[in-house]
Amino acid sequence: MKIDGAAYRTIWPAEDGRSVSIIDQTRLPHDFAVVSLTTLDEAAHAIRAMLVRGAPLIGATAAYGMALAMRADAGDAALERAHATLLATRPTAINLRWALDRVRAKLAPLPPAARAEAALIEADLIADEDVAINQAIGEHGAALIRAAAAEKGPDEPVNVLTHCNAGWLATVDWGTALAPIYVAFEEGIRLHVWVDETRPRNQGASLTAWELNHHGVPHTVVADNVGGHLMQHGMVDLCIVGTDRTTAGGDVCNKIGTYLKALAAHDNGVPFYVALPSPTIDWGIEDGVRDIPIEQRDGREVSEMTGRTADGRVETVRITPDGSPVANYAFDVTPARLVTGLITERGLCPASRAGLLTLFPEQR
């Protein structure tokens, strides 16, 4: 996507393959900083500390992390250690394991001397495929916004609610849930986005709002608990969210709070769509509530807030009493029955195994 006229991806390798550059998303929206990763451990830290985040971008970063690891030591033990180190960074997004398994499968049969270059080639492929997948999701999802626009008056925008950040910052480029919004916006369709702030990491307030601001897309940041009220008052035409892991049965794991938004949408007859790149499908499980590991992160993400002071300093403050314990569940699972449809790179389908298999028959 463009930032002040300059085209960016969220991650890109140096010409010599010795480093990989990322946008440090922990510093947005107040500072735009590019960080260079040169080692396996730096790549692992970037994922664990959420300098990069979002299921597809986590996968791409892990793939490049394997390439950096192989430059240092390409032996069999080092290959396994790199896979294990990166896999341990975050448990929920399936793209992490998908990317690591794919790169390891490519490298294992090769002589160590060939592994660094092969890993870099595979990581580049994963990144380029992600961009193409997301562009296709954008095209397929834009049809939903076009259809909603046809029901509106000439001056009435289509109101889309989204949760967390499933924009280009969550992927290599284009995004998943925001891709249909970008495509529809570029076509000239009048639209407006309700942006859930998405406590506690505020990916909506800090990242989605930043993206939409830079792209000129009309939007309003709201507290997470506002969405149900908006839906009750006919102020949301459809919801589009991302996912970190969707089961073969159509259960959708996404940022904490998504399930509550889906319940409100269901109760108010608001269509609830999930943008789903195929690497985010976990074909090995059906029951998401039972089987998807839900990350629990440091409680300080809940008990503290970081922001910019009036005189421009970025400060962190505590918002809970010192003695209060804190729980920080990072994801929840929306059962397939609450999902209107899945927007994949191959088109839309119902949130079910049968629906997914119509688009991905090779998985039968």
Ligand X SMILES: CSC[C@H]1O[C@H](OP(=O)(O)O)[C@H](O)[C@@H]1O
- The residues annotated as belonging to the active site are 244
Q: Which of 53, 102, 106, 215 is the binder for ligand X (CB under 6 A)?
A: 53
In the complex, least distance from residue 204 CB atom to ligand X, rounded to whole angstroms: 9
Rounded to whole angstroms, how far apart are CA atoms 288 and 290?
Answer: 5
Candidates 51, 330, 339, 343; binder of ligand X (CB under 6 A) is 330
Shortest distance in whole angstroms from residue 51 CB to ligand X: 11
Q: Is 255 labelled as part of a ligand binding site?
A: yes
Q: Does 334 bind ligand X (CB under 6 A)?
A: no
Out of 242, 250, 257, 335, name the contact with ligand X by CB under 6 A.
Answer: 242
- From the list 54-62, 79-87, 96-104, 284-292, the region that binds ligand X by CB under 6 A is 54-62
Nearest residue to 13 via CA among 84, 66, 49, 55? 66
Smallest distance from ligand X to CB 152, Å:
26
Place of tokens 């859930």: 196
In terms of Cβ atoms closer than 10 Å to its own Cβ (0-12, 13-18, 19+), residue 263 is middle
- Reported in sequence order, the residue ranges of 136-244 that DSSP labels E, i.e. its strands, are 158-162, 191-196, 219-222, 238-241
User: How many whole angstroms separate alpha carbon 65 and alpha carbon 100?
Assistant: 9
55 counts as binding ligand X under rule CB under 6 A: yes
Question: DSSP of 112-154, one letter per residue?
Answer: HHHHHHHHHHHHHHHHHHHHHHHHHHHHHHHHHHHHHHHTS-T
C-alpha span between 175 and 184 (Å, rounded): 14
**According to CB under 6 A, which residues from 138 to 197 bind ligand X?**
164, 166, 170-171, 176
Q: Binding-site residue total for ligand X (CB under 6 A)?
A: 15
Comparison of 168 and 185: residue with beta carbon closer to ligand X? 168
Closest distance to ligand X from the beta carbon of 280 (Å):
7
| Shortest reach from residue 337's CB to ligand X, in Å | 20
Q: How far is the CB of 322 from ligand X (least distance, A)?
A: 27
3-state secondary structure of 263: helix
Q: In the complex with ligand X, which residue's Cβ is closer, 242 or 341?
A: 242
Q: How many residues does the chain have?
A: 364
Structure tokens at 103: 């790169």
How far is it, in rounded angstroms, from Cα 50 to Cα 52? 5
Please work out, in degrees rounded to the nearest 5, the angle formed at the alpha carbon of residue 54 by the alpha carbons of 106 and 274. 105
Question: Residue 159 or residue 203: which is nearer to ligand X going by CB?
Answer: 203
List C-alpha distances in Å: 323 to 242, 301, 302, 320, 326.
35, 16, 14, 8, 10
- Residue 254 known to bind ligand: yes
Contact status: 255 vs ligand X (CB under 6 A): yes
The verdict on 91 binding ligand X (CB under 6 A) reads no
| 56 touching ligand X, by CB under 6 A | yes
Residues 97-126 that bind ligand X (CB under 6 A): none
* 106 annotated binding-site participant: no
Q: How far apart are the first and last CA of the chain?
A: 36
Question: From the annotation, which residues make up the binding site?
Answer: 53-55, 90, 203, 254-255
Residue ranges binding ligand X (CB under 6 A) = 53-56, 164, 166, 170-171, 176, 203, 242, 244, 254-255, 330
* Residue numbering of the annotated binding site for substrate: 53-55, 90, 203, 254-255
